[in-house]
Amino acid sequence: MRSVRIRAFVSACGLALVAIAAPRNAAADEVWVSPTYQQDLGGLGVGSNTIWPATAAGAVRFAWAIPNDLQTFQAAKVVLIPHGPGGAATLNVVVCQAQSGSLALSGCAALSSQAFNGVTNQLLEVDVSTAIAPKIGVPGANYLAVLAYTSPSAATDHIVGLRFAYASTAVSLGSSNVFTAAQTVNVAAGAAAVVGHNVAGSHGVEGISDSGDAGVFGKSNATGGASYGVYGDASANLGTGTGVFGIGTSYGLFGQSTRTSSTGVFGRSAGVAGQTYGVYGEALATTAGLGFGVFGTGNGFGVYGNNESTAAAAAGVWGESRMSIGAVYGVGGLVNSTTVGAAAVFGTANGASGTTFGVRGVNASNSTDAAGVRGDANGASGVTAGGYFRSASSNGTGVLGWAPSATGATYGLRGESDSNAGNGVFGWAPATAGGSAHTYGVKGQSEMPGAGIGVAGIATDGGKSVATVPLNNPVGVLGAVSDSSPNGYGVVSIGNVKVFGGIQTTDYVVADTFYANDAITIAPAYTQGFLPSCGSPGTHENEGKIVQTHGGAGDDGHMFVCRQKSDNSWEWKQVF
């Protein structure tokens, strides 16, 4: 750059200072180009309005080098001050480019013109960007020369200079910057190397990567202590502050750890009160089954949660679905393995004492079939189970059902089968050897005084009503059939019936073989000589029936059974 030369002139109109200087930076991304004052275009220049250094007429030459930090060209404007009379005029421009060793006039463009409207003694910018842009060339290598003149007002116009604006590759603290190479910032201990601060609700620091690398990469070289590659702090926001927030088409936030017993992503909530989250995930996908708030894969645990609280309802992993409609899941599990023991959801309670649960479900719904825990086996064949429960204790229970309500028709355990050959409840005791203790396929026990029923079997014969039998004594097994099914049986024994105690009936007993260790009471009893029809040819409606006759008036009571004789006739055979 050539030196600045200042000449002072004193005239009758006052003091004027004229500075002749080489082009210099007006700002980080601008170059101010002063006019060259050749003699053929007016000599040394004048002072327009006493203060402004300008050309003697509306004609000028500019020359400058394209800055080597130019990234993109933005604008070029010629600054001038028209003197009277002003009005409509044109700025004519010829632009030439050249590099060291090239011909000076080999890169000149044709004359271009830009109209303007001059106002006397009013500073004016005329945009010549369209003429300059094609000639920018290589930053740091190209030179530009511009011949500019106004018409028809060249005699009264005065040109101040040219303003050349561009986006720089250098860092500018007052505007956005684009880095095309690695940048390193070294600071003293305790200070931040890079601090991004945005007060307009956007991003303090934003990184963009168009390849498979990282938009923002943080690395900690510390060999000990609590170090962080990337550390985010949003403690100032007491509402919805987020320390680190990521958005991605694959991963919004990705963490990887290569050391043994380490953590890829670690979340901690230091709040001592309120509903806080160490790690919080949210998926806004609108397609059912495709949005995951938190998704984990691993050779040990896809997602691992640890809870050190002793408070009730504290959880290592907690899943919650806040949708008011839809078959949604607070926690969902999926496993593709065919190995025995594979489980979509697995729970372990390692406590050696206490009423603990490997998996526990709680449901607050009042709707029919709402369940704390539900299991579905959707296989179309095979011996499968909607729920499989197992107890290894010598005093354990495979399935324990409890309905704690003190009123209502509740069920501690209920089974339902829609198959036409199914079993609502099936019990199996496969032990084939052992001591004198009994095993039970199904065992029922009722503690209700006076009216408890251990096991009740009810056949509605297609949904028909079943009458309620008033029982004033406890019953071990109750069998009931619909009143509309006269040929139905409340209890059927395929084989002999052995009774330790009495049998009481309000109707009749049908049996091929009957054993009784005690009395048999049959009501109603018939009057001697007035027995019902036993049977007629082709019918045997009373075959096997046992009836009782009254005693009295010196006659004993007797019991008869209806049978078919060898000649196919029917008779009431007196048993005693």
**Residue 47 maps to a domain:** yes
Q: Is the peptide bond before 152 cis (omega within 30 degrees of 0)?
A: yes
Question: Which of the two residues, 31 and 494, has the higher pLDDT score?
Answer: 31
Decide the pairing of beta strands 87-98 and 107-108. antiparallel
Distance CA 291, CA 294 (A): 9
Tell which residue, 227, 229, 198, 197, has the closest CA to residue 216.
229
Tell which residue, 461, 469, 506, 510, has the closest CA to residue 488.
461
Distance CA 265, CA 390 (A): 36
Do 467 and 500 fall within a single domain? no
Question: Which of the two residues, 415 and 222, has the higher pLDDT score?
Answer: 415
Most confident among 4-13, 270-279, 379-388, 537-546 (mean pLDDT): 379-388
Do 548 and 478 fall within a single domain? no
Do 482 and 558 fall within a single domain? no
Domain boundary among 459, 492, 525: 492
**Residue 408 maps to a domain:** no
Tokens 């000649």 locate to 567
Distance CA 546, CA 531 (A): 11
Do 481 and 507 fall within a single domain? no
Distance CA 187, CA 168 (A): 25
User: pTM value?
Assistant: 0.43
Do 503 and 473 fall within a single domain? no
**Residue 30 maps to a domain:** yes
Do 460 and 510 fall within a single domain? no
**Residue 533 maps to a domain:** yes
Name the token pair of 189.
Answer: 């201990």
Tell which residue, 454, 451, 488, 447, has the closest CA to residue 468.
451
Do 531 and 569 fall within a single domain? yes
From residue 113, alpha-carbon distances to 129, 148, 303, 482, 566 in Å are 11, 9, 70, 108, 137
**Residue 324 maps to a domain:** no
Q: What domain count does the chain have?
A: 3
The residue segments making up the domain with residue 11 are 5-168
Sorted by sequence, the CB contacts under 8 Å of residue 328 that are 6+ apart come out as 321
**Residue 535 maps to a domain:** yes
Domain boundary among 433, 463, 492: 492
Least confident among 197-206, 211-220, 263-272, 510-519: 510-519
Do 471 and 553 fall within a single domain? no
Tell which residue, 364, 322, 309, 373, has the closest CA to residue 345.
373
Q: Mind listing the pLDDT tens digit for each residue in 315-344?
A: 777 777 777 787 777 777 777 888 887 887
Do 481 and 545 fall within a single domain? no
Do 86 and 158 fall within a single domain? yes
Does the structure show a pLDDT above 80 at 80? yes
| Helix, strand, coil share of the chain (percent; to 5) | 0, 25, 75
Does the structure show a pLDDT above 70 at 345? yes
Least confident among 18-32, 273-287, 525-539: 18-32
Do 27 and 148 fall within a single domain? yes
pLDDT band at 12 (very low <50, low <70, confident <90, very high): very low
Decide the pairing of beta strands 124-127 and 70-82. antiparallel
Identify the burial level of 415 via C-beta atoms within 10 angstroms of its C-beta, where 0-12 means exposed, 13-18 middle and 19 or more buried.
Answer: middle
Tell which residue, 119, 117, 109, has the closest CA to residue 147.
109
Do 11 and 48 fall within a single domain? yes
Domain boundary among 168, 186, 212: 168
Distance CA 289, CA 156 (A): 77
Cβ–Cβ < 8 Å for 490, 479: yes
**Residue 32 maps to a domain:** yes
pLDDT band at 121 (very low <50, low <70, confident <90, very high): very high
Q: Any idea what the CATH number is for the domain that residue 66 is in?
A: 2.60.120
Does the structure show a pLDDT above 80 at 547? no
Percent of the chain with pLDDT over 70: 70
Sorted by sequence, the CB contacts under 8 Å of residue 518 that are 6+ apart come out as 499, 501, 502
Tell which residue, 265, 264, 268, has the closest CA to residue 277.
268
**Residue 544 maps to a domain:** yes
pLDDT at residue number 235? 67
Least confident among 112-126, 298-312, 350-364: 298-312
Does the structure show a pLDDT above 90 at 469? no
